[in-house]
Amino acid sequence: MSENDNLLKADGKNEVEKEVSTPKEETTPEVENKTEVTPESEAETKAETESESTKETTSEKTAEAETEVESETETESETETESETETSKNDQHVDEIEAENAEDAEDESNVERHEVEEKDYHAMSMQDLATELNRLLKHHKIQTISKQVNQIKSEFNAKFSELLDQKKEEFIEEGGNEIDFYYTNDTKKLFNQLYKDYKQSISSYYKEREQNLKQNLENRLAIIEEIKGLLSVEENMGTTYKTFKELQDKWRNAGPIPRDKYNNAWNTYHHHVERFYDFLHLNNDLRDMDFKHNYEQKLKIIEQAEELAKDDNVNRSFRELQVLHKLWKEELGPVAKEHREEIWERFSKATKTIHDKRQAYYADLDKAYEKNLEKKENIISQIQAIAEDKASSHGAWQKKIKEIEALREAFFNAGKVPLKVNEATWAKFKDAVRTFNRGKNKFYKELKKDQYENLKKKKDLIKIAEDNKDSEDFKTVTPLMKKIQADWKKIGHVPRRDSDKIWKQFKAACNHYFDRMHAERKAENQHLYDAFDKKVKLLDELKAMELSGDNKADVETLKTKIADWKAIGHVPQNKRYIDGKFYKAIDEAFDKLKMDKSKLEMVKFESKLENLASNDNDTRLLDNEQNFIRKKISEVKSEINQLENNLQFFSNVESDNPLVKDVHKNIDRHKKELDTWKAKLSKLKGMYS
C-alpha cells in the first residue's frame, strides 16, 4: 500500500457517490420523507421549487471547474486504485458522517440550522402553525429553517384541506353548486402571506449564495494549482514550506463550495498536499514537525469522540461528531505512517459507537410510532362508532360534536406514526370525521326545514296580533290575543338569526293591545283603585295603632275599623288580597286584648263573618264556614263521649284521684269549647237573614 493510499484512509476522506439511507440528525423518518399530499395553488407549487432550481444552477455553472478537478483526479488514477480498495473497507458509520458533511458543504451555517427547535407541529392548530412560522421568520436566518417551514406547511395544508372538505360538504348540503364553492379565512390568508415572504427571502438567499459558491470553488481550484506549482520551485525549502502553510490557511478560509464538488475538490487538494509532503523528504524536520502537530491534534479529536460516545443525547453527540470529522478532514493533515492505521481505527471505533446508539434511538422511535398508530386507530374507531350512532335531538348532537372535537384533539396530540402508513391513517381519520359531519349536516338540514316552517307559523301569529292591536272590541279580541299567545308557546324553535327579531315584534303587538285594554278598564274602574288606596292607608293605621288597655273601648275601636273598612267598598279584582291582610291584622290586635278566651273567640269570629259577608253576598263562603263549624261541633261531642266512657273504668276509684280529676277537667274544657262552637253556629245562621 502506498503512502498516498494510507493518507487517504487515515484522513477518512473518501468520495461518497450516493446519499446514505440513515435519517439525518434531528430528523424523524416521518419528517425526512415526503409529506402529506394536500391541495396547493399553482403559485405555491412554483415557489416551492425555486430554491431547488437555484441549487441546480450552481452545479451547472461550475461544470467546467468540475471537469478540471475530475481530469486532475484521473491523472492520478493509478495512485488512487489501491486507495479506492481501502475506501471500500470503511463501514457505513463513516460513510454516514461523510455524506452529512458533504451535504453541509454549501452552507457553513448548517450547524446553526441543527439548533433550530423543532416542535410537535402535528398537534398545533392552524392559528398556532401560522404563529410559529412567523416566529421562525423573525428570529432565525432564512437558510436555517427550511425543514421546519416544510413541516409546518405540510401540517397547515392538511388541516386546512380537512376544513375545506367540511365547508364544501356543508355548502352542497345547503343547496349550493359545487363549481361555485369557494372558502378561505383570515388564518389561511395570513399563512399564505408568511409563506410567500419565506419563498421570496429564500430565493434571494440562494441567488446570492450561488455567486459565492462559484467564486469560492474557483478560489480553491486556484489554491490547488499553487500547491502543485510548489513542487517545481527551486528555492530555499523553508521559504517553500512557509508558502505552503500560507496556502493551507487560504484553503481553510476559502468558504463553502457546491456540495457536488465537495469530495472531488477535497480529495484533489489532499492528493497534492500529500505529494508536497513527499517532496519534503529533502527536509524531514519540517515534515516531521507537521506530522507531530497533526498527530497531537488528532489524538485530541479522538478523545473528544470517545467522550461523545458516552453521551446519551444521540442527536447532540452526532452533531458534534460531524464537527470532529470535519476538523479531521479539513483542518489537519496526515500523520507519520506508523500511526495512521492506529489512530484511524480508534477514531472509527468511537464513531461506530455513536452511530450504533443513534440507530438504536431510531429503532426505539419506530416502536413509539407504532404505539402512536395504535392510539390513532383506536381514536378513529371511536369516531366511526359515534358517526354510526344517529342522534335525534339538538342536545344529543351537541354532545356528540363535543366528543368528536375532543377525539380530534387527541388524534393530533397522539404523535407521529410510521411514514409508510401516515397518509393512509390521515385519510382514514378524515373519512371518519367526514362521515360524522355528513350525518350532523343532514340532521341540521332537516332541523332547519322544521325551523323555517315554525318561522312561517309565528309570522302568521304576528300578523294576527298586529291586525288586532288597535281594536276597540275588547270582549271579542281579548280571547283571541290570549289564544295566539298560547299558540306561540306551542310552536317549536325558529332559526336563531330570526328568533329575537320576531319575538320582539310579536311581544310589542301584544303589549300594545293589552296596555290599551288595561288603561281603558282602569279608567272605568277608577273608583275601585281609589278604594284600594284608602284601604292601604287604613291598614297602615291599624298596624300602627296602640291599644288603650280598656278591653271594651279597644273592642269598639277595632269594630269601628272593621266598619270603616267595609264602608270603603270593593277594590279591583287583582287587589283583593288586601282584605286578607286587614283581617289578619285585626285578629292580631284582638289577640293582644286581655279578655276571656271564649268572649275573645266570639269577637274575632264576628270580625271574620264581617269579612265573609263583604264578598259580594257570596253565600258559598258562609256555607263553607257553617260546614266547618258543624264538623268541629261533631268532633268535640265525640271527644266528650269518649272521655265520659273512660270514667266508667274508674267506678271504684275515689273522686279525688288525680287521673279522675284530669278526665273531669278535660270534659269541662271540651264542653266550654262546644258552647263556643254552638254560639258561632247560631251567629252564623243569623247572617243568612
What pLDDT, in 10s, does the model give residues 110-136?
444 446 777 878 878 899 999 999 999
- Tell me what pLDDT residue 105 has: 57
What is the three-class DSSP state of 138?
Answer: helix
Rounded CA separation 600/359 (Å): 106
Q: What is the pLDDT of residues 535-553, one digit of tens each?
A: 899 889 888 888 888 878 8
Task: Give 278-347 as a DSSP string.
Answer: HHGGGGHHHHHHHHHHHHHHHHHHHHHHHHHTT-S-HHHHHHHHHHHHHHHHHT-----HHHHHHHHHHH
Q: What is the pLDDT of residues 469-520, one digit of tens each?
A: 999 888 899 999 999 999 999 998 888 888 899 999 999 999 999 998 888 8
Closest to 671 (Cα-Cα) out of 642, 645, 647, 637: 637
Q: 499 Cβ partners below 8 Å, 6+ apart?
A: 493
Q: What is the pLDDT of residues 523-536, one digit of tens each?
A: 777 888 888 899 89
Least confident of 108-112, 326-330, 428-432: 108-112
C-alpha cell of residue 269: 487538494
- Tell me what pLDDT residue 84 has: 36
Rounded CA separation 95/87 (Å): 10
Rounded CA separation 214/260 (Å): 12
Element containing residue 354 per DSSP (H, E): helix 337-388
Mean pLDDT of the chain: 77
Task: Give 64-112 as a DSSP string.
Answer: HHHHHHHHHHHHTHHHHHHHHHHHTTS-HHHHHHHHHHHHGGG-TTHHH
Q: What is the pLDDT of residues 391-401, one digit of tens each?
A: 878 888 889 89
- Tell me what pLDDT residue 115 has: 64
- Tell me what pLDDT residue 556 has: 83
Here the contacts of 278-281 (C-beta below 8 Å, separation 24 or greater) are 278/3, 279/230, 279/231, 280/237, 280/241
- Measured CA distances, 198 to 35, 65, 108, 153, 315 (Å): 19, 32, 20, 11, 27
Rounded CA separation 585/544 (Å): 10
- Tell me what pLDDT residue 91 has: 60
- Measured CA distances, 17 to 95, 96, 144, 260, 502 (Å): 10, 12, 25, 9, 77
- Tell me what pLDDT residue 472 has: 87
**Whole-angstrom Cα Rg for the chain:** 52
Q: What is the mean pLDDT of residues 25-44?
A: 33
Cα atoms found within 13 Å of the Cα of residue 503, Cβ hemisphere only = 11
Predicted structure pTM score: 0.43
pLDDT of residue 100 exceeding 80: no
Q: What is the mean pLDDT of residues 196-206?
A: 89
Residue 560's pLDDT band, with cuts at 50, 70 and 90, is confident
Closest to 318 (Cα-Cα) out of 365, 360, 355, 361: 355
Q: What angle do CA 612, 615, 620 make, to 5 degrees?
A: 70
Rounded CA separation 363/555 (Å): 105
Q: For 593, phi and psi rounded to 5 degrees?
A: -75, 140
Rounded CA separation 431/438 (Å): 10
Q: Cα–chain-centroid distance for residue 86?
A: 58
Rounded CA separation 289/245 (Å): 13
Residue 108's pLDDT band, with cuts at 50, 70 and 90, is low
The count of other CB atoms within 10 Å of the CB of residue 359 is: 15
Report the first-to-last Cα separation within the chain, whole angstroms: 148
- Tell me what pLDDT residue 479 has: 93
**Residues listed for the chain:** 689
Q: What is the mean pLDDT of residues 608-624?
A: 69
- Tell me what pLDDT residue 99 has: 64
- Tell me what pLDDT residue 450 has: 83
- Tell me what pLDDT residue 95 has: 67
Residue 299's pLDDT band, with cuts at 50, 70 and 90, is very high
Most confident of 205-214, 374-383, 555-564: 374-383
- Measured CA distances, 597 to 351, 403, 559, 669, 670 (Å): 114, 72, 18, 12, 13
